[in-house]
Chain A
């Protein structure tokens, strides 16, 4: 049965594996140099990357591939696994051999699913290891516009265990969908769309609930203010929101709301405009430093504070494990569903 699974699956496998292996080898070859730069250039490391060509590209390629692998595996390995058999009627050939449906499904799921997880794990290992100097430098506080801390959504799911969890989930979803809709192409499309949707929604709707975030109240000041949200045009803009720095490097901020002295969410009074620098392109006189200091002082005096919720950089692995566990659990549930569904009539 393992032979048959492999025989049916080898082309899809070779296509994906070739891409992943090539990337992994490339990363393995270039990685030591990057690490060397990191040690040599220390605090100028990130800055120096700006003058390089290859390494920034490799960084993006690794990130992109790790986002692409789960939907691709779900759609091209998972969805056709059963759907193609049902579509072409070959399930009736293979089920009339001396092997039970459960063993057949278990072997197919096991061989293909574990391969999928293994190969994603390999790629994730390569990318995580390769990017480690960059992630370290960013988390050590080196400034950059091109590289984000590894806890930020665009990077988080391209590191460590999470891609493996996504792949397991995507694969199991593809199999289950294929078993239900019984059309390869339809199952493939549904799986592709569903997995991409899950990848897009997880950072906002799932990840914040995996761990209790750090709650902090910060008084805004000219030093820690990071930005203002302005509304209204013309010379009299309104400040609708402010953001402050938490002082925690590499942290992922979930929310940043202004509260008044009673701790309730508050609207900012109109005089806060004085705290903000003039919007670009305005002819208005720039607010003087003294004015801004006075404005922040008044905010503080009247009891306005920023309520900030965030994950600190050191929660990275805890979050990774939890998200991996969650999606692995979902994958197992979907497999359970497939085992239940295949017992039913499928003539």
Chain B
């Protein structure tokens, strides 16, 4: 199995509005994938489609080489805002997990609850946001899925709880062999937890790849003003900006940059993501026609 998630022309319409349209996407196995994009890019819709919570209006989505929603036991899902039953206790939630999942790993669940210092008798409604997220993650992990999908799991958490959650997720992933897809609108979350990046803007995958590779193949070139056409063929321009005398390009290339006129600098992941997100977000300004 090489891909855990595959979408072809995937679209979802709510009323007249397309929340996701014509999306093509491939997520390879064995990674912790960060799905990043601005609000409204269709991240949640995509993940909801992938777990079968909603059905596509167009196209198809395959999870673990089968139509989405058909292999519930193999796909773990931690929904947005990490819902839990506020009136059930932590122990009740674990019991729920063990009753509803054939491959439930009770030892793992108990161990996690102990390590997280959650009181099994505590009602979920009285847990802090971070603890609730941890509980939801525990349910997702102890199910022993092949693929774990997390939809903005840390969006509602404070920075400390955020870091703890992601740390914990990384440790769990290291122990279990599973693929993870995690959506977020914050690059720092992805930087901390993921080794694979997908940038989604307006239903389109702008860039996807292993983070290390991405960082090693993207550069910022600064130098005397030069037209984009004059760049070598193997240098793909992501963004370009010019002043009267100077040009700044953000490019992707596999080859070394030989031109001595350029000052070459490395990118941070945030620069990279923002460059890709900024590319399409720039609105196409309507051209005002002069009428005579």
Contacts and interface: CB of A to CB of B under 8 A. Distances in A.
B72 A96 contact: yes
B84 A98 contact: no
Interface in A83-120: 88-90, 92-100
A93 B85 contact: yes
A7 interface: yes
**Residue among A89, A90, A347 with most chain B CB within 10 A:** A347
B97 interface: yes
A347 B53 contact: yes
A4 interface: yes
Contacts of A95: 53
Nearest to A103: B100
A344 B53 CA distance: 9
Contacts of A3: 95, 99
B79 A89 contact: yes
B102 interface: yes
Contacts of B103: 98
B55 A345 contact: yes
Given A96-B72, A98-B143, A347-B54, A90 B85 contact: yes
Given A1-B99, A96-B77, A88 B86 contact: yes
Nearest to A100: B72
Interface string A61-100: 0000000000000000000000000001110111111111
A88 B83 contact: yes
A234 to B, nearest CB: 66
B83 A90 contact: yes
A101 to B, nearest CB: 9
B88 interface: yes
B78, B86, B96 — which one has the most chain A CB atoms within 10 A of its CB? B96
A347 B83 contact: no
A7 B79 contact: no
B71 to A, nearest CB: 9
A167 to B, nearest CB: 25
Given A7-B92, A90-B84, A97 B100 contact: yes
A236 interface: no
A8 interface: yes
Contacts of B87: 8
Contact of A97 (B84, B88, B143): B143
Contacts of A92: 53, 77, 79, 83
A334 B132 CA distance: 35
Contacts of B95: 3
A98 B142 CA distance: 12
Interface size class of B (residues with CB under 8 A): 20 to 34
Residue with the highest number of chain A CB atoms closer than 10 Å, among B73, B85, B92: B85
A3 B88 CA distance: 12
A4 B96 contact: yes
Contact of A7 (B75, B88, B101): B88
Contacts of B100: 1, 4, 94, 97-99
B85 A8 contact: yes
A8 B76 CA distance: 23
Contacts of B99: 1, 3-4
Interface in B233-268: none
B83 A89 contact: yes
A298 B88 CA distance: 79
Interface in A20-43: none
Interface string B40-76: 0000000010010111000000000000000011011
A96 B86 contact: no
B84 A93 contact: yes
Contact of B101 (A4, A90, A98, A346): A98
B13 to A, nearest CB: 10
Interface string B152-165: 00000000000000
Contacts of A99: 72, 100
A344 B83 CA distance: 20
A253 B264 CA distance: 99
Contacts of B102: 98
Contacts of B136: 93
Interface in B94-111: 95-97, 99-103
Nearest to B70: A100
Nearest to B101: A98
Contacts of B139: 93, 97
B81 interface: yes
A94 B51 CA distance: 12
Nearest to B45: A347
B51 A98 contact: no
A93 B84 CA distance: 7
Contacts of B143: 97-98
Contacts of A1: 99-100
Contact of A98 (B48, B73, B86): B73
A83 to B, nearest CB: 15
A346 B14 CA distance: 12
B111 to A, nearest CB: 20
A344 B56 CA distance: 11
Nearest to B56: A345
Lowest 6 CB-CB distances: which A-B pairs, in order?
Answer: A96-B77, A97-B100, A98-B73, A89-B83, A92-B79, A345-B54
10 contacts: A88-B86, A89-B83, A92-B53, A93-B85, A96-B76, A98-B102, A98-B103, A99-B100, A345-B53, A347-B54
Interface of B: 48, 51, 53-55, 72-73, 75-79, 81, 83-88, 92, 95-97, 99-103, 136, 139-140, 143
Given A89-B79, A94-B96, 9 more contacts: A7-B92, A93-B79, A93-B84, A93-B85, A97-B101, A97-B139, A98-B72, A98-B143, A347-B54
